[in-house]
Structure 1
Amino acid sequence: MSNLNKQAGNISEKPGISSPEITNISAINQIKNKRRQQPTSEELINGILEGNRTSLSRAITLIESTNPDHFEKANEVVQGCLAQANKSVRIGITGVPGVGKSTFIEAFGKHLTQLGKKVAVLAVDPSSSLSHGSILGDKTRMEELVKDENAFIRPSASGETLGGVARKTRETIILCEAAGFDTIIIETVGVGQSETAVHSMVDFFLLLKISGAGDELQGIKRGIMEMADAIVINKADGDNIKKANQAKVDFNRAMHLFPPKKSNWQPKVTTCSSITKEGISEIWNTISDYFEMTKKNGFFQEKRHEQNQFWIMETINEQLKSNFYNQPEIISLLEQNKKAVQNNEISPFAAASELLKLYFNKGAKAQSDKGSK
């Protein structure tokens, strides 16, 4: 026997000795079976209306699912919660990566829960364009808020949605409102032209900035500035206070260059520190003033109506796109046409036209077959 085999024999387990059974096998099987059982739409709705967070989380997972089999059930849940929705205020928070969105939201959220508010945070994490994965680390960054019984944090992957708004964020808002949360905060991935998607589902749009980033005036994105109802210069603490105050002056000047808002609200610029909590209460006071004014002049409800109409069209576009790409014949022809386009055998426009023609002919045939029955 070699030295290696001798060593292996010395450290191997002696026959006849088995690991003690420390877990009840039947209990494990019960847990597995329970996890496999999917609650009905009615059970999910009842759980959400009772404020059950497990039901809320499972329902959100259901509406985020891309499985076509889940679509109808998800719609039933959303429809069942609709009567108890629309009783919250919705706040969108955006800013470039590194501006301190998560830290700010934790400080802001804790302030709201201390005031007796029930806060739901819908944090959208960027998805990799290569692996399509997402870290979903917002709960880790909001250590205090995640333990607050009056707060609910739901991180979601942005997927392919431009602007960092999760595909089903709009429906998730409805579920959270039905579960009793009166303040909904939506954290987006970052600043971009398609942040209009966030603006189209919130009542108040807050833009976080930091001083010394070189964009006080020259690098300002006009579109995002025009949408903002308030600009907050974050990280106004320590040696950075002077710079933050100067940035506040610069942004105030810039805001006066924009045309008046339809709401008649004059956007406010302020500073805060998410670490020392300085300025956090003033931000909530500003938001409260906005809601008081817009509810009084009717703009709040008018905006909600416009958003509902917008989301009708968005949902139609989304469903058409999803239906198109899930047709087996389309999938097959699409791959053929991609190769043909790459080989310069057909133009991209002709290839697209051929695919759309097949799709519409299939739809017309399905309608004809349905009518003949």
Structure 2
Amino acid sequence: MNDVSASALGDAILAGERAALARAITLVESRRADHRQQAQALIQQLLPKAGGTIRVGITGVPGVGKSTMIDALGSFLTSKGHKVAVLAVDPSSTRTGGSILGDKTRMARLAVDPRAYIRPSPSSGTLGGVAAKTRETMLLCEAAGFDVILVETVGVGQSETAVADLTDFFLVLMLPNAGDELQGIKKGIIELADMIAVNKADGAGATAARAAAAQYQAALHILAPASALWSPPVITISGLTGDGLEALWSKVEAHRARYEAKGLIAEKRRRQDVKWMWAMVQDRLQAKLRHDPALKARTPELEAAVAGGRLAPTLAAEEIAQALGL
């Protein structure tokens, strides 16, 4: 692909051509140096056309029903005239590339919805790299006309923070039976939450879901809200039946209206862009560590020397830093 065809690819994306979008995402995910240059030119071309969207991050413990809920929420939004892109951040799987193929089968309605688009993150082996590629994919989807971006974290650990740094609104899904699980909630995730939704509030689980919601609401009262503008609500929903999804989305819209009125969405995105820059710098450093022939040959020797107690970790780190020009 040359510069002219990269420009033409950008024009095709702006025209809403799905095949062009898929090709562009593959381009930005590539690690080849020439592809990276073309991808950067493409992103720069499309950047002014991106950004006018609602970006929602979604996380939850395994088994909480994220895929079913996203399928239901996305279908609700497309029925209201929105165009929805679902992106997954999964830094945990370097062997299989994550669970997105399973997610696609569970998101049966969205997978065939012409107003929806489902795309996994690349498995780059570094969280910063995954977040950077997901952000680029998000911008491409926005330029293609998708006005709602749902970013799902299917990894663990720091992936929640990465998704919060990609989005405007962070939704945490919880299971009905709080009990002991309430004690195990990571405080950091609760502090990131703009809303908690107790899923599976249907049938016999409805009563348990309401009780859990009350417990989560009480837990939130202990924490000071991240902003005086917004106290995270706790609601009950059912991804299976769709109950509560309209109320959920009205909360997202209320949050956006309140923050946009103060210019805080734009301010938050500017901070996120700076984090994106540093994530890409980190990814480039990791790439050099992986691909530089001299470093690839020397690193196992240094690791063995440190593990064997023959070399101080500080001296090994200094040698690697010097090889990187630091």
Distance 1:358 1:147 in 2: 50
Distance 1:210 1:291 in 2: 26
* Equivalent residue number for residue 88 of structure 1: 53
The 3-state SS of whatever aligns with 1:259 is coil
Aligned residue pairs: how many? 325
Deviation of the 1:300 alpha carbon? 1.6
Deviation of the 1:166 alpha carbon? 4.8
- Choose which of 167, 170, 178 in structure 1 pairs with 2:135: 170
Q: Does 1:75 align with 2:40?
A: yes
- Choose which of 98, 104, 125 in structure 2 pairs with 1:134: 98
Spell out the pairing of 1:190-229 with structure 2 (5 A cutoff): 190=155, 192-215=157-180, 217-229=182-194
Deviation of the 1:99 alpha carbon? 0.6
Q: Does 1:258 align with 2:257?
A: no
- Choose which of 285, 288, 295 in structure 2 pairs with 1:323: 288
Superposed CA offset, 1:116-143 (max 9, x none): 00101112346535x3543432211111
| Change in 2 beyond 3 A, CA 1:263/1:111 | farther
| Change in 2 beyond 3 A, CA 1:128/1:305 | closer
* Equivalent residue number for residue 297 of structure 2: 332
- Choose which of 312, 318, 323 in structure 2 pairs with 1:353: 318
- In the alignment, structure 1 segments of 5+ residues that lack a partner are 1-35, 362-373
* Equivalent residue number for residue 296 of structure 1: 261
- State the superposition RMSD in angstroms: 2.3
Spell out the pairing of 1:244-255 with structure 2 (5 A cutoff): 244-255=209-220
Distance 1:345 1:141 in 2: 52
Distance 1:40 1:263 in 2: 48
Larger relative contact order (CA 8 Å, sep ≥ 6): 2
Q: Is the 8 A contact 1:94 1:189 kept in 2?
A: yes
* Equivalent residue number for residue 108 of structure 1: 73
* Equivalent residue number for residue 278 of structure 1: 243
Superposed CA offset, 1:289-324 (max 9, x none): 111111112222221121122222222222233234
Q: Is the 8 A contact 1:126 1:159 kept in 2?
A: yes
Deviation of the 1:216 alpha carbon? 5.2
| Change in 2 beyond 3 A, CA 1:345/1:190 | closer
TM-score (norm 2): 0.92
Identity between Structure 1 and Structure 2 (%)? 45
* Equivalent residue number for residue 49 of structure 1: 14
Q: Is the 8 A contact 1:164 1:190 kept in 2?
A: no
TM-score (norm 1): 0.81
Q: Which stretch shifts more, 141-150 or 131-140?
A: 131-140
Q: Is the 8 A contact 2:91 2:130 kept in 1?
A: no
* Equivalent residue number for residue 8 of structure 1: none
Paired letter, 1:179: A
Deviation of the 1:38 alpha carbon? 11
The 3-state SS of whatever aligns with 1:48 is helix
Larger gyration radius, structure 1 or structure 2: 1
Q: Is the 8 A contact 2:171 2:197 kept in 1?
A: yes
Distance 1:302 1:83 in 2: 16
Q: Is the 8 A contact 2:132 2:279 kept in 1?
A: no
Paired letter, 1:134: G
- In the alignment, structure 2 segments of 5+ residues that lack a partner are none
Deviation of the 1:258 alpha carbon? 1.1
Q: Does 1:309 align with 2:282?
A: no
Distance 1:323 1:330 in 2: 8
